[in-house]
Structure 1
Amino acid sequence: MPFEFCLQSYGDGVCQSQCNTIQCGYDGGDCENEQRNYYLSVKYILLHLKTNQSEFKLNRNQYLGNLGIILRSIVRIAKDNTTKELLLEDIPSKNQIKVLLEVISQSNINCKTTEGNMCTNDSVRLLQPNELKTYILAALSTNQYKSLFSIINLNFVDSPSHSHFKAPWELESSTDTGISKEAIGLYVCICILAGSKLKLVYNTSLSLLRLTLKFSYVF
């Protein structure tokens, strides 16, 4: 199945078994009923993007698909716990949107054996929020996963709720979404090392990741 097809069909509600792999972000959860017991953890990412709702919806599958590949997880728009509405807000006066994403990671224990070494994902899953934020921004700055929209802000929240959209974004606008060359190099490094099954290599890759991130903040 062509890679581009998997991006375009990501999270469209139709299970494409050929795209239901770690390399393609598990088809955006379209095959969820087939592997519900495999899920391990859920994170929520609050994004503030420079775009409008129409443009985002037009490119939504590709954007979420790229994030799914980067994080090797299901990535989709979260729903409010109470109303079950999609947490996506348009800000037409500023040509911006806010969207809350749900990131669902799969247990390595239950990872399909046909995916071989690509099953190992601890080096991404175990990152701390600041480390994961830098990792995501670094990946979205590469040519392969270049973000379609400028990222104004990126934060992690505890649960899906409309209250997150009431936060004073203007006060948070100073958050640095720039990325250093060291962090980009680190992203490439961890992508290579993440495929190894050796515990020693995993520990080395995670230590290298955190050390590089530390220096990227300093410089």
Structure 2
Amino acid sequence: MSKLNVLVVDDAPFIRDLIKKGLRNLFPGLVVDEAADGRRAQTLLGKQRFDLILCDWEMPGMTGLELLSWFRAQPDHKGVPFIMVTSRGDKENVVQAIQAGVSDYMGKPFSNEQLAAKVKKALQRTGKLAELQAGAQPRPATGFANDSLGALTAGRSDVAQPVAAPVAAPVATSSAALLTGGAPPPPARGKPAAHFGQGPLRLPNASMACLIKA
């Protein structure tokens, strides 16, 4: 499949960069060239064929309208979409551009959505949109959270599974639990048990004094 070539013509470098970046992100199959004025654009257009032109109106040396008029006079460039990218939107200018053979208008400032819509519309008219979409490789959608999780777990899905909470073991019934109404005994702190008092230990034949600790 032959590559689709786009020429961006504008004397403002930041506008050219903005359009180039938007086109490459939206349509990875496009090859984007640039020219800083109409004269340089003429030189490029004389060397190779482009599938789409996006051109500013007001430029030094040769305006976008003059470039458009020259472009439409070339037999090899008939039918190639030419989109005028400009802040000039009054009726007089629109009529001039239409008479010169402009394909579409895109006003400044513009969004990526507007750029995508204009390019799709222009390429669809020439039958190039289907070719572009067929050759484009979709970029996998990634999310910051998913990428971070993948880096931490090295891609292992089992690591990310939730761990079931352990079931608490039943507390063994003891004489202390019965005496305290089921309340758990106080935690051991490594100290001797407190003395609760003294009392006699009665045996079958005798009795003796005992120290009650619990």
Q: Normalising by the residue count of structure 2, what TM-score does the alignment of the two structures yield? A: 0.24
Greater radius of gyration (CA): 2
TM-score, scaled to structure 1:
0.24
Higher RCO by CA contacts (8 Å cutoff, separation 6 or greater):
1
Higher helix share: 1
